[in-house]
Amino acid sequence: MTQPLVKAFVFDVFGTVVDWRGGIAREAASFLNAYGQANASPEAFADAWRSRYAPAMQKVRSGERPFVRLDVLHRENLDDVLPEFGIDKDAVPTHVLDELNLAWHRLDPWPDSVKGLARLKTRYIIAPLSNGNIKLMVDMAKHGGLPWDAILGAETAQAYKPTPQAYLRAVDALMLKPEEVCMAAAHNSDLVAARACGLKTAFIARPYEHGAGQTTDLKAESDWDFIVNDLNELADAAGA
Amino acid sequence: MTQPLVKAFVFDVFGTVVDWRGGIAREAASFLNAYGQANASPEAFADAWRSRYAPAMQKVRSGERPFVRLDVLHRENLDDVLPEFGIDKDAVPTHVLDELNLAWHRLDPWPDSVKGLARLKTRYIIAPLSNGNIKLMVDMAKHGGLPWDAILGAETAQAYKPTPQAYLRAVDALMLKPEEVCMAAAHNSDLVAARACGLKTAFIARPYEHGAGQTTDLKAESDWDFIVNDLNELADAAGA
């Protein structure tokens, strides 16, 4: 084992553990069809919804608005994306939009995720360190069988990644030193921020997170402590 | 099923899910023997340590001191209890006391707990709503195989039961209404406080929590929504 000090692995979730694009597109397809936009691309809808994610969190990170759960931001962003797809939000019952918003709670794990996490769990504490809220993470874990030891992340920290507090409050909750916690993510920027806080880092390549034409995060862009292709490879590398 | 609205069961842990007295006594026995007090009763040591629990938390609840984790209170209380057993704390290496303090992280579940929780988990969200801190709950769950969906309780709420915020912040994290969450505990007082916050209530009889001579909480003292003898009975009653 190459990292004897690591006692916990904490995970980015959207894109790293679950396939958000495929899951959102699946539910968007039914929705677009029901509201007269059957010719629209469900994947484009997923991309458009997701594209509002970072700017919405930035308003919290900058202090422009107080911390609110990701469910709230997702719901606002859904309203915002509808006109782009020719849908008048006032023509859709609120409960339909609320239900579509819960598609983020029902995302499927990548094929290796459950087995890889279960293996890591035998030797390490494993927890999400996601910007998703607690209930979102709990529902997703029950939907997909993700065997987390605890739910950490933005809501417990009251801060969105890559704000340092998001990482450091998770480390504190685990009563560990930063170097005893390894951040696992498919996004180099997440690992840059985690490393700056003193955490160990694991890059999981997810070259289809954004579909076949993905251009970002195709490979590790630094000398991360672990560089692997999936969570079983991470378990192998971590001796679990 | 008698409670169709309940979506989550949250649990008191010390005494309700795990046997704190037996676990502490087991580790205290070795400690007392090592420090020249082999004739002292390990159960009496456990009782003396635990007796300082409520007064220590009261200082936080009253605002006399800011919130600190239960691990901190346990450690202070350990120092406090040693003279009562003829042990000079300065004669014991700090690391030995720190390690003994972690006995609370290694408590064993009651025989029915793991199976009962696993059954409940198939139909409900299950989480501790304990005064124990996150790391304590995580370590205990890994030690005993408790299959929690999330770790809620005092540290996430920054408030100790029976302060209302301890219950209400768990309900809020689950994005449920109070009546959709059922507090399960072996202590009537915990259920009184939970009911006052609008939660459903489940009394689990644990007549040996304090040993064979137990005089408190031998039975339900109100018309709790569920009144059962163990967690399998709770799973039966809840249709899980």
Per-residue tens of pLDDT for chain A, all 240 residues: 444 599 999 999 999 999 999 999 999 999 999 999 999 999 999 999 999 999 999 999 999 999 999 999 999 999 999 999 999 999 999 999 999 999 999 999 999 999 999 999 999 999 999 999 999 999 999 999 999 999 999 999 999 999 999 999 999 999 999 999 999 999 999 999 999 999 999 999 999 999 999 999 999 999 999 999 999 999 999 999
| H/E segment holding residue B96 | helix B94-101
The residue of chain B nearest to residue A145, with distances taken between CA atoms, is B149
Q: What is the pLDDT of residues B118-156, one digit of tens each?
A: 999 999 999 999 999 999 999 999 999 999 999 999 999
| pLDDT tens by residue, A174-229 | 999 999 999 999 999 999 999 999 999 999 999 999 999 999 999 999 999 999 99
CB atoms within 10 A of CB A154: 28
Q: Which of B13, B67, B149 would best serve as a mutation to test chain A binding (most A beta carbons within 10 A)? A: B149
In this complex, is the C-beta atom of A150 within 8 Å of any C-beta atom belonging to chain B? yes
Nearest CA in chain B to A132: B173
Q: How far is CA B136 from CA A82, B74, B106, B129, in A?
A: 45, 11, 9, 13
Nearest CA among B64, B62, B65, B103 for reference residue B81: B103
Q: In whole angstroms, how far apart are CA B101 and each of A15, A46, A150, A198, B47? A: 39, 49, 22, 27, 14
Q: Are B222 and B192 in contact (CB under 8 A)?
A: yes
In this structure, are residues B231 and B115 in contact, taking their beta carbons and an 8 Å threshold?
yes
* Cα A78 from Cα A100, distance rounded (Å): 9
Contacts of B141 in chain A (CB under 8 A): 149
| A143 close contact with B: CB closer than 8 A | no
Instruction: Report the complex ipTM.
Output: 0.95
* Inter-chain CB pairs, A–B, below 8 Å: 43
Of A141, A148, A173, the CB nearest to B134: A173
Q: B88 burial class (0-12, 13-18, 19+ CB within 10 angstroms)? A: exposed
> Rounded to a whole number, what is the distance in angstroms from the first to the last CA of chain A?
9
